[in-house]
Amino acid sequence: MKRIVSLAWKNIGRNKVRSGVILSAIAIGLFAGTFMLAFLNGWVIGSVNSDIEIQYSHIQIHDADFLTNYDISACFIREDIEEKIEQCMDGEQAAYTVAYRLNLTGMLASPYNAIGVTAQGVWEDEEKQVTTVWEQIPDSMGAYLSGDTKMVIVISSKMADKLKVKLKSKIVFTFQDVQGDMQSIAFRVCGIYKTTNTMFDETSVFIKYNDVFDYTGLPVGAVHEAAIRLPDLETCKTIAPQMKSMLSDMDVQDWTELNPAIAIVLTYTDFMAIIMMGIFLLALSFGIVNTMLMAILERTRELGMLGAIGMSKGNIFSMIMLETVFLTLLGGIVGIVLGVVLIAPLQETGIDLKIFIKDYFEDFGFSSFVYPILDTKMLVQTIVLVILAGILSAIYPARKALKLKPLKAIRAV
């Protein structure tokens, strides 16, 4: 068997042009495939993490009736939920943070325009531990509810453009309190943020809980939402079912329920990656089969001679198979290595899609800035698919070689 392996390896170098062409084709194909998989992986995971960090967190808790129509009276008392969350997390090693909020739907108006928004009444220190909106405020655009200043508001750059306001401008937020009376409160803009999610930017503003609570008519300590941030997605899978069981009278949703569309995309990422790589390799397989068939036709007399001097059909079959697998594997490794070399720096610097598509992705809640992600599982899957493609591509040329009659092959010109 060692001789067959050695012979198959040497045969690759006999026609350097032909081998070089097929190796280059395989390498380029695998390079493109590896890059596309890393890009897809980074895009999906980046979008999930962005949604969690900016908007949803890992788990949200509401009154059972709140999400039906965002009724201001569908609230719960913060202290009651705090105790239950602590009980649920008791004994868990995972670190977690919680932010409690009022969610008030109303109109935000300036002298020039008015838009519908959801105002989140928050405690600044808590919110900074759960979401990263405060990090999306440039130094020149103010700060996130900082200091002891009262009646301040943080809006997005989209809202600032629509309302034609800037830092320190005065705007009025109007909403309906528990009794159904309209409450209008004047705020001064203290910060202007911009995230990668246009839909979130167009509807979300942030105010201090203590600035707005007295206008709501809610009982002391009432909130509409508890947002819980966990270390990672895997921890969420463990904690969420426990919390749903303990808080059965509340509406407990994890990030997959809050944003099912992106959750479905993430679920099928591995499947889509295999499909994409399979398409790349299928296209390459036709080239491999064609090249090996040409090689067999060129070596008809040689293969006939090997059969005439006693090489078994099994050994001839193995030699052709090994040649094809070696070509595929070598080209695949070169392509994957090239892909890794290119992707490595992009994992830090990222790819700005705005150059090609402006900010259209952000209109649908996806980031226009992608950081490709390479993981071991993906690389292993790719290598396995490369080997499988090499084996399958080798079967037909090898069977073709077996059909050669030694005497006719020797006489062939």
The answer to whether residues 42 and 133 belong to one domain is no
Ordered alpha helix ranges (H), 260-370: 260-267, 269-298, 300-308, 313-349, 354-357
The answer to whether residues 223 and 348 belong to one domain is no
- End-of-domain residue from the set 207, 229, 251: 229
Tell me the pLDDT of the chain (413 aa) as tens digits: 677 777 777 777 777 777 787 788 788 878 888 888 888 888 888 888 888 888 889 999 999 989 888 899 999 999 988 888 888 887 666 688 999 999 999 999 999 999 999 999 999 999 999 999 999 999 899 999 877 889 999 999 999 999 999 999 999 999 999 999 999 999 999 999 998 888 889 999 999 999 999 999 999 999 999 999 998 888 888 889 989 988 888 999 999 898 887 777 777 777 777 787 778 777 777 777 777 777 776 666 666 676 677 677 777 777 777 877 788 888 888 888 888 888 888 888 888 776 666 666 665 556 667 888 887 777 777 777 777 777 777 777 777 766 666 555 555 54
Q: Is residue 204 part of a domain?
A: yes
The answer to whether residues 166 and 297 belong to one domain is no
The answer to whether residues 142 and 41 belong to one domain is no
pTM: 0.76
The answer to whether residues 395 and 334 belong to one domain is yes
The answer to whether residues 223 and 272 belong to one domain is no
The answer to whether residues 362 and 315 belong to one domain is yes
CA R_g for the chain? 31
For position 258, what pLDDT does the model report?
A: 87
SS3 154: strand
Q: Write out the residue range of the structural domain in which residue 124 sits.
A: 59-229
Q: How many CA atoms lie within 13 A of 5 on its CB side?
A: 2
The answer to whether residues 64 and 170 belong to one domain is yes
Q: Is residue 258 part of a domain?
A: no
For position 188, what pLDDT does the model report?
A: 95
Longest CA pairwise span in the chain (Å): 102
The answer to whether residues 72 and 213 belong to one domain is yes
Rounded to whole angstroms, the Cα distance separating 119 from 128 reads 16
Q: Is residue 255 part of a domain?
A: no
For position 259, what pLDDT does the model report?
A: 84
For position 161, what pLDDT does the model report?
A: 94
Q: Is residue 148 part of a domain?
A: yes
The answer to whether residues 401 and 333 belong to one domain is yes
- End-of-domain residue from the set 177, 206, 229: 229
What is the number of structural domains in the chain? 2
SS3 29: helix
Rounded to whole angstroms, the Cα distance separating 145 from 163 reads 20
The answer to whether residues 201 and 304 belong to one domain is no
Question: Which whole-number Å values give the CA distances from 135 to 47, 161, 193, 310, in the listed order?
Answer: 17, 20, 8, 75
Which long-range contacts does 20-26 make (Cβ < 8 Å, 24+ apart)?
Answer: 21/291, 22/287, 22/288, 22/291, 22/327, 22/331, 23/327, 23/330, 23/331, 23/334, 24/331, 25/284, 25/287, 25/331, 26/284, 26/288, 26/327, 26/328, 26/330, 26/331, 26/332, 26/334, 26/335
The answer to whether residues 204 and 294 belong to one domain is no
For position 314, what pLDDT does the model report?
A: 75
- DSSP label at residue 13: T
